[in-house]
Amino acid sequence: MNTQPTLAKEGETTGNTGDSQPSDGLKAGLKNRHLSMIAIGGVIGAGLFVGSGSGIAAAGPAILLSYALVGTMVVFVMRMLGEMAAARPSSGSFSAYADQALGRWAGFTIGWLYWFFWVVVLAVEATAGAVILESWIPAVPQWAWALIVMVVLTATNLASVSSYGEFEFWFAGIKVVAIAAFVVVGLLAVFGVLPGSDNPGAGFAHLSDAGGFLPMGAGAILTGVLMVVFSFMGSEIVTLAAGESEDPQKAVTKATNSVIWRIGVFYLGSIFVVLTLLPWNDKSIVEKGSYVAALDSIGIPHAGQVMNVIVLTAVLSCLNSGLYTASRMAFSLGRRGDAPKAFAKTNKRGVPTAAILSSVVFGFVAVFFNYQWPDTVFAFLLNSSGAVALFVWLVICVTQLRMRGIILRESPEKLVVKMWLFPYLTWATIAMIVFVLGYMLYDGGSAREQVVLSLLVAALVLVIALVKDRFAKGSQLTDK
């Protein structure tokens, strides 16, 4: 039997101690080990494994600078978000903070855009997983695999938040172990000390022996930025999940403080290994994928199948987290009156059933579009959500500028995580994000299309938010 959510304000909890329980109807079912692995795995998406090869081909070894630039931007954004989330843990995270600091229109707009982004991702990842599974068991059609994957992970999320946490713990664990092993084994091969390696062990020579470190020119660094920026989306999931943990403040603080080494090891470290094992212009990097090509150069048997298993794990992890994230954002919007009231209801296990099912339904529809009209309807959905990651990061920055003052006035003792060099680094990060958006428009092609379509969708949602706000104010005046 469903229970009505309590009347506590979005973002409040009964405390930040170890025995705290969310006061919004959700249950604190995530353990510290769940949050730790969600934080680590949140920055490792399938895009890192699948898309890094095209980035290397476009920028050469300089793609390392592209990853470093985007990684620095994400570190700053996560620090800002961590500051707000540690002080006010919330299932709505940055959407709830934007609501408080900038106005209802901001929370409504960015919340729905974020939900839209993740339900489209559900379709992308379900299809990617189905392709791999069909290659293993071709007797089952691809659409059936997509359906099976979606149904299984929906059931997991409906069972309890701890089920989501347990699945993600193991999914993320496999990704972390795989990349850590890849980096260690790869570095041994780079220096020629890996027993039985087929790689000649050229040390760092491949970083400059094929046209130098910047073979495509300095401008390729920015081109690389556009190609890698979206593989970082998901870092913020831990701040949503923290609202359902035993100690939200501790979880957020730990995740925020560790984001630097996570990005350094998993992104920069693994791409560095690829670039030192092979010349950047080796055709196999694009044809096979960067990680498979690197494993082949070492002589790892069945490298392609090994990587397919890891990519499938990353896909399932992304699906699992995407469904969780979309449902919690829908739940938060429902609590604030920005979505149907049913979204804000939880069952006796503290699970927002309606919010989960609504997200899944849209995900199923998007999967259907992907199979029926991949080059038209689904391409539009994909492109119109393409720049949402940058919009989210921009809103986080602007919100933090206002929230710092609010937190200092209302509960200064909760400011346990602080953005460095405030407000200068915040403004610098805003400038970086705006520059990337501007360069996407200038660069043309698919990047321009993504920004334009994403802006159009954002404008539509913003108009709905403003109209809704106007009607709400009008009815209040009428009541008086």
CA distance linking residue 74 with residue 43, whole number of Å: 10
Return the pLDDT at 478: 63
Report the C-alpha gap between 197 and 190 in whole angstroms. Answer: 10
Question: Nearest-CA neighbor of 267 among 216, 222, 307, 231?
Answer: 231
- What is the structure's pLDDT at 400? 97
pTM of this structure: 0.88
Cα–Cα dist 101/337, whole Å? 17
Walk along the chain (480 residues) in steps of 10 and give the mean pLDDT of each run: 38 38 66 78 71 88 94 92 89 89 93 92 88 92 90 90 88 88 92 89 90 90 86 81 80 81 87 94 90 90 87 88 90 92 89 92 88 86 86 95 94 92 96 92 83 93 90 64
**HEC per residue, the chain:** CCECCCCCCCCCECCCCCCCCECCCCCCCECHHHHHHHHHHCCCCHHHHHHHHHHHHHHHHHHHHHHHHHHHHHHHHHHHHHHHHHHCCCCCHHHHHHHHHCCHHHHHHHHHHHHHHHHHHHHHHHHHHHHHHHHHCCCCCHHHHHHHHHHHHHHHHHHCHHHHHHHHHHHHHHHHHHHHHHHHHHHHHHCCCCCCCCCCCCCCHHHCCCCCCCCCCCHHHHHHHHHHHHHHCCCCHHHHHHHHECCHHHHHHHHHHHHHHHHHHHHHHHHHHHHHHCCCCCCHHHHCCHHHHHHHHHCCCCHHHHHHHHHHHHHHHHHHHHHHHHHHHHHHHHHCCCCCHHHHCECCCCCCHHHHHHHHHHHHHHHHHHHHCCCCHHHHHHHHCCCHHHHHHHHHHHHHHHHHHHHHHHCHHHCCCCCCCCCHHHHHHHHHHHHHHHHHHHHCHHHHHHHHHHHHHHHHHHHHHHHHHHHHHHHHHHHC
pLDDT single digits (tens) 343-361: 999 888 888 999 999 999 9
Q: Which residues does residue 131 pair with via DSSP β-bridges, in sequence order?
A: none
Which pLDDT score, from 0 to 100, does residue 21 have?
A: 44
Q: Which of 40, 119, 168 is nearest to 325 (CA)?
A: 119
Condensed to tens digits (0 to 9), the pLDDT of residues 150-168 reads: 999 899 889 888 888 898 8
Q: Quick one: pLDDT at residue 475?
A: 62
Residue 399 and residue 97 in contact, taking contact as beta carbons nearer than 8 Å = yes
What does the alpha-carbon distance between residue 76 and residue 72 come to, in Å, rounded to a whole number?
Answer: 6
